[in-house]
Structure 1
Amino acid sequence: MFKQIFALIPIIAAVLANEKTILLSNDDGWAALNIRAAYRELTNAGYNVILSAPARQRSGWSGKFQIPDSKTLKEAGEFNYPPKGSPSWGHESDNNKIWYFDGTPGAAVAFGLEYVIPNYFNDTKVDLVVNGPNEGTNLGNGMYTISGTIGATYNAVYRNYPGIAISGSNGNNSFFKDFENDENDTLLAANIYAKKVVQFVDQLFKGAKDDSILPITTGLNINFPSVGYDDESCKDPEWVFTKFSGKDSTTSDLKYNKESGLFESSSIGSEALYTCVFGNCSLEGESQLLADKNCKTSVSAFSVDYSASKDQEETIHGALNGLF
């Protein structure tokens, strides 16, 4: 028996040496169903997952960086979890790998990287930052500066961490405790998305050429279609490499309602959103792919180098030539 145990030691050590650490966050809050399902499946797959997410729903907060100004919560966490008056940051009583922070998505990522991991996990090297799956899609370059999920991701990329924003088409805001007995429900969207996240992360690590995982300045934006109960014909969506821009891309807009005398939210498309300047312009746009409803998941790369192209710079420089 002891010989068998000692024989396993090198194998166990090799597994531990190859263990990858993932910081998991979102903008829907730490108690959202999608992120808890992703945490479960990534952990079950052997990843060292540390969850650090906002205490409350912070969808649409983009890349804004807001931290708590009080040691206790002035408002209850989402689903009253935790209640008002609780510490402004903390973790599950039975799991110190699951944390909340009373801040925006970008700040929750920084909290995980700069406070939780150095102080509680011996400054473990983080190999990848995953945000989501969001409850609702974040499609097209019009959403880049609006989405809290994407905002949390580029806040990670700014810090030299490879980052992925993941969004689902299940737009409901669900409390994970309401689904604790549904882990094996094969039609529950959160479960389907979580398993697809593992599949994607597995391939990303497998195919990476070096420890950087993704080229510096870059991140990924992933959007899942409707699956399971929302579309029972779609249980294992196909992966498609796409681009941000393209047909069906929109951004937020407003319209004036003469009857109510108030403004209403709407969306608008434009040539600026449809036009491709960088990257492979022959790729299908992610908004169009999801609009076609063919059980396909979009995967788009982005860069936090916001410089204009050389041709664009030269055109602008020429117009301003008298100033330089």
Structure 2
Amino acid sequence: MNLLISNDDGIFALGIRTLANTLAAAGHRVTVVCPDRERSATGHGLTLHDPIRAEQIESVFEPSVQAWACSGTPSDCVKLALGALLSHPPDMVLSGINHGSNLGTDVLYSGTVSAAMEGVIEGIPSIAFSLTSFSSQDFQPAANFARSLIDRIAQHPLPKLTLLNINIPAVPDHEIAGVIMTRQGVRRYFDMFEKRIDPRGKTYYWLAGEVLEDVDEAELEEAGMSGLKASGGDAEWFRKTATDVQAIRKNYITVTPLQYNLTCALGLESLQKWQIQSSFMEG
């Protein structure tokens, strides 16, 4: 397959090097276009008021891998690759392997997920891979899983406009409990801003805080099940499906299908009862 790979950890990150080299060794044609430095938590940001530069990189990856380092965001990288650097669209866009998890509501901030989502926006099947540790340097099990998954997708294509967000626990192979399909969970943070003074006496703030995973997911479940009801889906099945946050604690590889359509079915159903149009016309 013809694969485009990006990330948000930068061109020299071990995760993307392991993924690209593993897939190239498996016979895939691999092109890497990723930021020239770390661009984590940039979300789906685009560069509109500055030029975007791309420099071809040698000696970082296996010789068969074509690679560019881009001055922009992860989303910029995929846009640039599809619009200028590649002569033909890839069969699939991959992002990662990220150093650290992208679980629950992390996906709203994640440059890793956003790079993959850019592929979906362009109608290309896409997958985001994350290793759920900031300290582990062993990306090979995650890369091996990516290789086997891509082989399977080649035989059974993804549903149209679907992104797979995959998190791999940072444990030895024999400790992985299995692979499980999950729904997006809730992962919130207790934010704190540390106030500091720079050497010139100017005040600045440093974002810190702790993740809060054990939060009430009732609102998420209600919204999700309302969407299923609206489309004739099985709400009970949805309720019984584990979230990515829950499953990763038990050392499962989590596979969560995402989409870029953020319409809130619950809100749409509720607002229809307002009869806004008739109220506006009467006013």
TM-score higher than 0.5 here? yes
Residue 83 (structure 1) aligns with: none
Residue 158 (structure 1) aligns with: 121
Paired amino acid for 1:47: H
1:127 and 2:91 matched: yes
- Verify the 8 A CA contact 2:40 2:112 in the aligned structure 1: yes
Residues 180-229 of structure 1, C-alpha deviation per residue, up to 9 Å, x if partnerless?
xxxxxxxx621221111101111111222xxxxx222221100000124x
In 2 relative to 1, CA 70–217 (structure 1 residues): closer, same or farther, beyond 3 Å? closer
Match of 1:93 among 55, 58, 69: 58
Residues 137-156 of structure 1, C-alpha deviation per residue, up to 9 Å, x if partnerless?
0001x112111111111121
1:207 and 2:144 matched: no
Residues 84-143 of structure 1, C-alpha deviation per residue, up to 9 Å, x if partnerless?
xxxx3212235571111011111111111111103xxxx2x3111010110000001x11
In 2 relative to 1, CA 273–256 (structure 1 residues): closer, same or farther, beyond 3 Å? farther
Paired amino acid for 1:291: R
| 1:314 positional shift | 2.9
Equivalent-residue separation in structure 1 for 2:192 and 2:164 (angstroms): 32
1:313 and 2:262 matched: no
- Verify the 8 A CA contact 1:28 1:134 in the aligned structure 2: yes
In 2 relative to 1, CA 64–244 (structure 1 residues): closer, same or farther, beyond 3 Å? same
Residues 231-251 of structure 1, C-alpha deviation per residue, up to 9 Å, x if partnerless?
x753x6621111113xxx212
Match of 2:188 among 248, 251, 254: 251
Residues 258-295 of structure 1, C-alpha deviation per residue, up to 9 Å, x if partnerless?
9xxx7742344344345533463321101001123xx3
Residue 246 (structure 2) aligns with: 288
Residues 153-179 of structure 1, C-alpha deviation per residue, up to 9 Å, x if partnerless?
112111111111110023149xxxxxx
1:192 and 2:173 matched: no
| 1:297 positional shift | 0.1
Residue 149 (structure 1) aligns with: 112
Equivalent-residue separation in structure 1 for 2:242 and 2:264 (angstroms): 22
Equivalent-residue separation in structure 1 for 2:174 and 2:49 (angstroms): 44
- Verify the 8 A CA contact 2:221 2:239 in the aligned structure 1: no
SS in 1 for 2:112: helix
- Verify the 8 A CA contact 1:189 1:227 in the aligned structure 2: no
Q: Count the aligned residue pairs.
A: 253
- Unaligned runs of 5+ residues in structure 2 are 196-204, 229-237
Q: Identity over the aligned pairs, expressed in percent?
A: 24
Residue 231 (structure 2) aligns with: none
Root-mean-square deviation (CA), in Å? Answer: 2.7
SS in 2 for 1:144: helix
Residue 76 (structure 2) aligns with: 107
Residue 160 (structure 2) aligns with: 216
Residue 35 (structure 2) aligns with: 54
Match of 1:238 among 165, 173, 178: 178
Equivalent-residue separation in structure 2 for 1:240 and 1:224 (angstroms): 11
- Verify the 8 A CA contact 2:58 2:67 in the aligned structure 1: no
Please give the TM-score of this superposition, normalised by the length of structure 1.
0.70
Residue 30 (structure 1) aligns with: 11
In 2 relative to 1, CA 68–44 (structure 1 residues): closer, same or farther, beyond 3 Å? farther
Match of 2:170 among 220, 226, 250: 226
In 2 relative to 1, CA 106–267 (structure 1 residues): closer, same or farther, beyond 3 Å? same
SS in 2 for 1:111: helix
- Unaligned runs of 5+ residues in structure 1 are 1-19, 72-87, 174-187, 209-213
Deviates more, 1:154-163 or 1:34-43: 154-163
Please give the TM-score of this superposition, normalised by the length of structure 2.
0.80
SS in 2 for 1:319: coil
- Verify the 8 A CA contact 1:217 1:305 in the aligned structure 2: no
